[in-house]
């Protein structure tokens, strides 16, 4: 396994992690040799260096609630699908927009630090719609964590500026999820700027290269093409990468139809759900901090802010951000039900 590769058969459906068998009177969490990360290695030529990524770095997907009643943030398995879906419209078109990326203040970041972000989003292989091949929309983005214009002043890039235009990278094409059952993987790896990055983006010495983000988008590619892309992005492994957070693929229902088709309507299966609106991704270790903050999102500042904080307090010089040490990403998600037709009429 390599930095951005993963076993296809290891897919999680929610925040919950599997536990190891318990002995009499014994409470034991999942051992380091078990669970969905068991066969993942960080270093291609040094598999013995790391057994598997820390479970606490597994990302968690939150959904911003659309009402002020109850908690403002819901974990994906606490959400109910808003899109109905049906046999007449089983598929879902998705628009994904990254609106901010907040790097925790306690992350070891200097002006030479770069981050490679990777998103794979497409149809889960368990989808009920078998008329199409399983394809993914994949993005690889290079994030400069210091603004080139501000590096001399020692200023990090602001979270609202670290937002690659994912839709533009896909040629403004919507992501097609057949059957409404999606698979999502999100990873961010911190590293020094590698030689391959400089060769691909050779214009970086000019004015154009001073932009914060360099983005490569690959719409509707097959699993074989994903492996080719892995070989490209995995070159950061030569620069001693440090994952900010990463995951095995997560299975998410985009509609009620997709959720019930997978679970069979069983109340004992807690399906992860992604709805249209705003969602937040962060590390599992920060689950309690983000959840307990009962935060709302301020697009102008690109930050999650506890609901109890007033706009005046946020704008004030004395505002002490309780989530300043949390690394998180905020996405805006748009959805539309549809029925994709794989057949063509060749008659005159």
- Domain region containing 88: 58-337
In a domain, 294, yes or no: yes
Q: Is 208 helix (H, G, I), strand (E, B) or coil?
A: helix
In a domain, 41, yes or no: no
In a domain, 47, yes or no: no
Domain count, the chain: 1
Using one digit for the tens of pLDDT, what is the confidence trace for 219-256?
888 777 777 777 766 665 556 677 777 777 889 999 99
In a domain, 36, yes or no: no
**Nearest 10 degrees: CA dihedral of 270, 275, 281, 286?**
-50
- Could you tell me the pTM of the whole model? 0.76
In a domain, 7, yes or no: no
Calculate what percentage of the chain has a pLDDT beyond 70. Answer: 73
The answer to which of 17-21, 187-191, 338-342, 343-347 has the lowest mean pLDDT is 17-21
Q: How would you class 101 by CB atoms within 10 Å of its CB: exposed for 0-12, middle for 13-18, buried for 19 or more? A: buried
Q: What is the per-residue pLDDT for 38?
A: 36
In a domain, 272, yes or no: yes
In a domain, 37, yes or no: no
Q: Which residue would you say has higher pLDDT here, 89 or 238? A: 89
In a domain, 53, yes or no: no
Using one digit for the tens of pLDDT, what is the confidence trace for 29-81?
333 333 333 333 333 343 344 345 567 778 888 899 888 788 888 888 888 99
Q: What is the per-residue pLDDT for 233?
A: 67
Query: What is the spatial distance between Cα 332 and Cα 39, in angstroms, rounded to a whole number?
Result: 32
Calculate what percentage of the chain has a pLDDT beyond 90. Answer: 25
On the question of pLDDT at 327 being above 70, the answer is yes
Q: How would you class 89 by CB atoms within 10 Å of its CB: exposed for 0-12, middle for 13-18, buried for 19 or more? A: middle
């Amino acid at each position: 396994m390599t930095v951005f590769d993963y076993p296809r058969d290891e897919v999680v459906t929610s925040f919950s992690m599997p536990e190891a068998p318990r002995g009499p009177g014994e409470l034991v969490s999942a051992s380091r040799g078990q669970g969905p990360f068991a066969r993942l290695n960080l270093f291609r030529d040094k598999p013995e260096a790391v057994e598997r990524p820390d479970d606490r770095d597994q990302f968690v997907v939150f959904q911003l609630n659309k009402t002020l009643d109850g908690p403002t943030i819901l974990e994906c398995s606490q959400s109910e699908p808003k899109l109905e879906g049906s046999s007449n419209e089983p598929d879902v078109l998705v628009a994904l927009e990254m609106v901010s990326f907040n790097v925790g203040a306690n992350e070891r970041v200097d002006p030479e630090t770069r981050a490679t972000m990777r998103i794979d989003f497409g149809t889960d292989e368990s989808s009920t719609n078998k008329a199409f091949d399983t394809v993914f929309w994949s993005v690889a983005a290079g994030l400069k964590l210091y603004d080139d214009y501000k590096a001399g002043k020692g200023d990090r890039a602001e979270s609202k500026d670290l937002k690659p235009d994912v839709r533009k990278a896909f040629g403004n094409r919507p992501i097609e999820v057949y059957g409404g059952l999606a698979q999502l993987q999100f990873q961010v790896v911190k590293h020094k700027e590698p030689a391959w990055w400089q060769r691909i983006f050779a214009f970086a010495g000019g004015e154009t290269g001073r932009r914060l983000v360099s983005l490569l988008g690959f719409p509707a590619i097959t699993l074989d093409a994903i492996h080719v892309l892995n070989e490209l992005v995995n070159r950061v492994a030569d620069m001693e990468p440090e994952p900010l957070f990463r995951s095995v693929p997560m299975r998410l229902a985009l509609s009620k139809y997709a959720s019930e088709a997978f679970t069979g309507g069983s109340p004992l299966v807690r399906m992860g759900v992604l709805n249209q609106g705003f969602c937040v991704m962060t590390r599992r270790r920060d689950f309690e901090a983000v959840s307990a903050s009962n935060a709302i999102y301020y697009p102008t500042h690109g930050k999650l802010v506890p609901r109890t904080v007033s706009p005046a307090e946020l704008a004030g010089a004395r505002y002490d951000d309780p989530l300043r040490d949390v690394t998180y990403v905020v996405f805006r998600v748009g959805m539309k039900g549809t029925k994709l037709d794989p057949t063509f009429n060749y008659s005159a």
